[in-house]
Structure 1
Amino acid sequence: MRSVRICLLIPQSGAAGLWAPSAEACGRLAVDEINKMSGILRRPVELSVVNAGETGASAGRAARDVIEIDGVDGIVGMLPSFARDFVARVTGGRVPFIYTPQFEGHSPTPDVMATGETAEELLAPAIQWLSEAKHARRYFLCGNDYVWPRSSLRIARALIARFGGTVTGEHYLPIGRHDFDEIMERIKATRSDVVLPYFLGFDCIAFNRAFYAAGLSSRVLRFSSAIDETVAYGLDVRETENLYATSSYYASIRSRNNGAFLERYHTAFGDSPPPVNAFGESCYEGIYSLAALMEEAESLDARKLMRLYGRTFQQRTARGDQVRSVVGGRHPIYLAQVDGYDFSIVTRR
């Protein structure tokens, strides 16, 4: 009986390549654990880590090759939103496609089983807290010029209005472009209270460095769900002043599940592994989600698995306080202040 073949499809270069080491480590940990527990459908699991490249087209080609040449039984993808639907068009009905990172909350194709949080879920509690606790009223929006930042900040506009704030300006840059001078000048000129930067990976690091260099970090708050431990490690401690983030997962979350997960992670990869973060951890849960669907369906058929999407299964997770998790369901959202390289939890919703 042949093994169950799973592809972990991740960008290994470009702006989103920042998360590749942690994504691979978390994916390999999940497969190792699943194999120790008798695999999937009593068959061993093989994991192929495949480079999605830097474009939607390259991600689609990679997905096609692993299906048609390598014969994989499922794809778990931690990809930017601009690549998601290229992959879905290739996988549609052929193999299941689990999409793991946070995203804007919609996809034009039904062939995507998303396990990550939506922009609405991540933005709403933070903007309410900024309004009520920090009395923020004037918000400047900026990010990379593609679907995730634009759609997320469109949602932010509505939330800001709901909580009595105003948007002072909005500016987008192509991925890989680090000319932030105009943005910094507009933030100063508009006397903004808060900036919402939605830049991807290495671009996010570059923006936050430029923000500090412009002398803004001591007097203007920053908030984004695009900031995690890996981004913070790319910054100087001084560059994280007045920086806030939301996520459904931080390594600093105190729970029995997360403590056990971190222990297994460090046992597997040593004292200095890639930093644990939400994007990497999403791959761990994505693989467990795919395994849970296959076990429940007693099949590898993508159509049968899609019919189960959204159901509750017993599966291993690093998030929350329960071992029980939901495939395609919701998790608590944590608002954290970035304190140097630590994420101090401010509130949970």
Structure 2
Amino acid sequence: MRSIRICLLIPRSGAAGLWAPSAEACGRLAVDEINRISGILRRPVELRIVNAGETGATAGRAARDAIEIDGADGIVGMLPSFARDSVARAARGRVPFIYTPQFEGHSTLDVMATGETAEELLVPAIQWLSEAKRARRYFLCGNDYVWPRASHHIARALIARFGGTVTGEYYLPVGQHDFDEILDRIKVTRSDVVLPYFLGSDCIAFNRAFCAAGLSSRVLRFSSAIDETVAYGLDVNETENIYATSSYYASIRSRNNGAFLERYHTAFGDSPPPVNAFGQSCYEGIHSLAALIEEAACLDARQLTRLYGRTFQQRTARGDQARSVVGGRHPIHLAQIDGYDFSIISGR
């Protein structure tokens, strides 16, 4: 009996490449857990980790090759939004496609998204910044593609709702690190908060430049794009006054997360790639795909897509073997970075 082949499609280079080690580790852990139980449909699961490259075109080609050459039965993708539709077109009607990271909140084609939307992540943060920090002047900046622009479009409406003003908006192509104009505008506009939505290593570069410009002690930073992996790329002093939201942090204290971290460290030792929301999303995405296939009792992409959003058994780091919804929502946690620790402020 042939194994079920799952393609984990992740960028191994470029701005998003810094998440590849944790994504791969979390993906392997998920497949090992599935195989230890009984596989999928009582068939062993084989994980193929495929490099999505740095563009939508490379991701689309990688997805087509995974289906046509490697015989993938399903694709789990942790990749930037600009690559999502290329993969969806390659997979459409052929194999199911689970898209795992946080995203702007709208997608086309047959994409089953398990990540949080920009609105879910922004609402509690901007409300808290407005009420707890009395923030009124917000500067928006990030990479020039759909996720940062759409997220900031949502942020503009929320900032106005809570009595704030947008002082400026500026975008740079992915991979470009000339931040002088952005930093000058932040200074001139006397902004209270900056919302930097840069991707991966670009986010690290921006926050280093922000600190070097002497802004970190007097201007708050908030972004759902900042996670443990990004924080570890900064010096301790460069994390001052950074706030973030996510549905998952390694620092969340719960029985489910504690058990997940124990399994993770048992599998990969004392110094594995840092656990973070982007990597954990691959673990959850693979378990979600397994749950969908088991529920449908087949591999047919269209049948699985019709089940998307239904409630049934699914394993996650946030709700181990709980009755949950594939494609459903999780609590959002607001955190402040304290050195390299994410201290949870509130959850909703």
With the length of structure 2 as denominator, give the TM-score of the two structures: 0.99
Residue 47 of structure 2 is matched in structure 1 by: 47
* RMSD, aligned CA: 0.8
SS of match in other structure, 2:39: coil
Distance in 2 of aligned mates of 1:321 and 1:95: 26
SS of match in other structure, 1:344: strand
Distance in 2 of aligned mates of 1:89 and 1:43: 27
Count of residues paired in the alignment: 348
Q: Deviation of residue 325 (structure 1)?
A: 2.3
Distance in 2 of aligned mates of 1:287 and 1:265: 15
Residue 129 of structure 2 is matched in structure 1 by: 130
Distance in 1 of aligned mates of 2:212 and 2:319: 37
Provide, for residues 309-348 of structure 1, a one-character-per-residue CA deviation record: whole Å limited to 9, x for no partner.
0011112111158733210000000000001100000000
Provide, for residues 10-55 of structure 1, a one-character-per-residue CA deviation record: whole Å limited to 9, x for no partner.
0000000010000000000000000000000000000000000000
Distance in 1 of aligned mates of 2:184 and 2:307: 50
Residue 97 of structure 2 is matched in structure 1 by: 97
Contact 2:313 2:321 in 1 (8 A): no
- Give aligned-pair identity as a percent: 88
Aligned ranges 1:142-153 → 2 under 5 Å: 142-153=141-152
Residue 190 of structure 1 is matched in structure 2 by: 189
Contact 1:257 1:323 in 2 (8 A): no
Residue 163 of structure 1 is matched in structure 2 by: 162
Distance in 2 of aligned mates of 1:45 and 1:33: 10
> Where in structure 1 do 4 or more consecutive aligned residues deviate above 2 Å?
320-325
Q: Letter of the aligned partner of 2:198 in structure 1?
A: F
Residue 303 of structure 2 is matched in structure 1 by: 304
Residue 231 of structure 1 is matched in structure 2 by: 230
Aligned ranges 1:335-346 → 2 under 5 Å: 335-346=334-345
Contact 2:78 2:101 in 1 (8 A): yes
Provide, for residues 107-145 of structure 1, a one-character-per-residue CA deviation record: whole Å limited to 9, x for no partner.
132x10000000000000000000000000000000000
Provide, for residues 67-123 of structure 1, a one-character-per-residue CA deviation record: whole Å limited to 9, x for no partner.
0011110000001000000000110010000000000000132x1000000000000
Residue 31 of structure 1 is matched in structure 2 by: 31
SS of match in other structure, 1:13: coil
Distance in 2 of aligned mates of 1:264 and 1:331: 21
SS of match in other structure, 2:166: strand
With the length of structure 1 as denominator, give the TM-score of the two structures: 0.99
Runs of 5+ unmatched residues, structure 2: none
Q: Letter of the aligned partner of 1:153 in structure 2?
A: H
Residue 108 of structure 2 is matched in structure 1 by: 108
